[in-house]
Amino acid sequence: MSYRMRKSILKNVLIGIGIIVFAFAFMWVAMPHSDAAGTIRTLTAQGYTGINITGVRWWGRSEGAYYSTEFNAIAPNGTRVTGYVTSGLWAGNTVRLD
């Protein structure tokens, strides 16, 4: 195998690795994440009790929201509610009820 051929193969392998790393980095930033502690803190401050975190909310995030966490809880008026809390890196938390 000639030097040029090895150099070409190495270049293609490095480009492929770079594309894979970029794709994983993009997916990490684009996918919503769960912030259970922030969700519990926000709901407790607003008077919710019996809070149960059910996971990540994949749809319904507002633009700029990095965290989106689903929950079940008892509202301050005593009714059982479901919803999700969104929050961003530079934004406050927002409670959204289903």
pLDDT tens digit sequence for 37-64: 889 999 999 999 999 999 887 777 677 7
Average pLDDT over residues 11-38: 82
Domain ranges of the chain: 1-30, 36-97
What DSSP string runs through the chain?
--HHHHHHHHHHHHHHHHHHHHHHHHHHHHS-B--HHHHHHHHHHTT-EEEEEEEE--S-PPTT--EEEEEEEE-TTS-EEEEEEEE-SSS-EEEEE-
Which pLDDT belongs to residue 81? 96
**Given a cut of 90, is residue 92 above it in pLDDT?**
no
pTM: 0.67
| End-to-end C-alpha distance for the chain, whole angstroms | 63
**Given a cut of 80, is residue 27 above it in pLDDT?**
no
**Given a cut of 70, is residue 9 above it in pLDDT?**
yes
